[in-house]
Structure 1
Amino acid sequence: MSTLPILVVEHEAGCPPAWFGEWLLAEGAVLDVLRPYAGDRLPGDLSGHGGLLVLGGSMGADDDADHPWLTDVKGLIREAAATGVPTLGICLGHQLAAVALGGTVHVNPRGQQIGVLDIGWTDVAADDPLTGRLPRPSGGVQWNNDVVAEPPPGTVVLAATATGELQAARFAPTVWGVQWHPEAGEEIVTAWTEDERDDAAARGVDLDAYVRDVARATDRLRETWAQLAAGFVDLLDADARAVS
């Protein structure tokens, strides 16, 4: 196990590491959770960290003017891609990785993706060093308005919806992104619904039913995505062995 911690970037209080942080700690990882929205300063480089985990948030991947730390996060992702630091982006983190490495993100023209939705694994995902161990079929907690419109050059598509939205990708040899929320369970999702009820009702979305779906799927979600966390720690171990 690498003795260097994983740098975890939390963009807002409502999107903590949650389950994923729990699983990483259980696998023996050390977490350095920084909250730039609360005044934490991100490091200028990744020399003191063995991995990078970029969490979700309600802002957009191009909203640097309102959330200046996003520029620094993109710089760290580019460094990770250049130096081989294992990196995983979740939802917003997935979109930030795409933008940092030359892709684009836009509002999904088909509308918001919300629900415990099927993951459309591609054939290559079975041989990927991070996703190859995951069970199929899989479901993931989705809550997003934006999607990756154009992936960066060289992206390996690991999962996509039936209508083509990117769900998971390897953007660079050691940089992955997932559009869903492997870290989120009933408690997290319930908190997300509090500020969305009026808008959701206007669109005919039953947020209480969504929360119930997440609650019913808890055991399956935890069993599936704990393996994603374990796979990420394996990448850290492999990277540490390669440089030792």
Structure 2
Amino acid sequence: MLVIEHQQNAGLGQLSDRLIEHGLNLETVGPDAGAPVPETLDGYDALIVLGGAMGPTEDEQAPWLPATRKLLRDGVEQGVPTLGICLGAQLLATATGGHVRTMPAGPEVGLLDVGFAASAAGDPLFGDLAGTSVPAVQWHWLEADSLPEGAQLLASSPACRNQAFRIGAAAWGVQFHPEALGGTAQDWVDEDRQSIDDLGLEEAVLVGDVRAAEPRLGAVWLPIADRFAELAQRSA
């Protein structure tokens, strides 16, 4: 499985060990991993593209983004199980004809609920969450405000309509962070305290809420890692 990591403090988090438990070999590439993004998905049974502080078209700041968008398009076209998280979801939408913008009402930051549509019931990855509202870590100032033609909307929140979506048979984008726990939230506060202060958020409350929710975050999102691993194994 290929994992594209844009920055070291935005890794696979709680999903990593769960995927490895399924016998998957995780090959992490990106600037901090010290390995370039490959040109093709040849030899990989799945693709995960993680989050990052840059925007999905800020190619001058992050020159590996064009190659990442190409791999996301390839994943959709080839039916390779693909998961884009936060920036990864924005890259997926951008690469396949959608559009990303700055959120007009401001960012989503912290522990917030995501509501899955009843119509998600048949989805291979998120079907078990159909019709439920579940907690997730949010940390984004941008959103995919329009999805490519044919995309299926799976989940929304009051501030962000396109929280989870599927493009094609096996490519998913999630604007939230199913991998993130309290340690990651602390890392992100440490990275950009000024933005947290500007939003009027208190570090202790913000991080404390995520830490307190860790058992629930594991109960909700680790089964998603199980299903994604199963899809990857079938693809192989």
Q: Scaled by the length of structure 2, what TM-score is found?
A: 0.95
Give the stretch that moved more between structures: 118-127 or 152-161: 118-127
2:62 corresponds to 1:62? no
Give the C-alpha shift of residue 84 in structure 1: 0.9
- Which residue, out of 129, 137, 144, partners 1:141? 137
Checking the alignment, whether the CA contact within 8 Å between 1:81 and 1:174 is kept in structure 2 is yes
Q: Is the 8 A contact 1:34 1:40 kept in 2?
A: yes
Task: Provide the residue aligned with 2:78 in structure 1.
Answer: 83
Match runs of 1:79-118 below 5 Å: 79-118=74-113
Give the corresponding residue for 2:21.
26
Contact 2:143–2:160 (CA<8 Å) still a contact in 1? no
The total of aligned residue pairs comes to 235
Cα displacement (A) at 1:232: 0.4
Runs of 4+ in 1 over 4 A off after TM superposition: none
Answering whether residue 224 of structure 2 is matched by residue 228 of structure 1, we say: yes
Q: Distance in 2 between matches of 1:57 and 1:233?
A: 23
SS at match of 1:45: coil
1:172 Cα deviation (Å)?
A: 2.0
Letter in 1 for 2:41: L
**Farther off after superposition, 151-160 or 118-127:** 118-127
Deviation at 1:38, TM superposition (A): 5.2
Is 1:166 the counterpart of 2:153? The answer is: no
> How far 1:39 sits from its partner (Å)?
4.2
* CA deviation map 1:166-215 (0-9, x unaligned): 10000221110111111111111101101322332233112221100001
* Unaligned segments of structure 1, at least 5 residues: 1-5
Supply the RMSD in Å over aligned alpha carbons: 1.4
TM-score for both structures, normalised by structure 1: 0.92
Distance 1:174 1:199 in 2: 35
Matched, 1:9 2:10: no
Q: 1:72 & 1:19 partners in 2: Cα distance?
A: 26
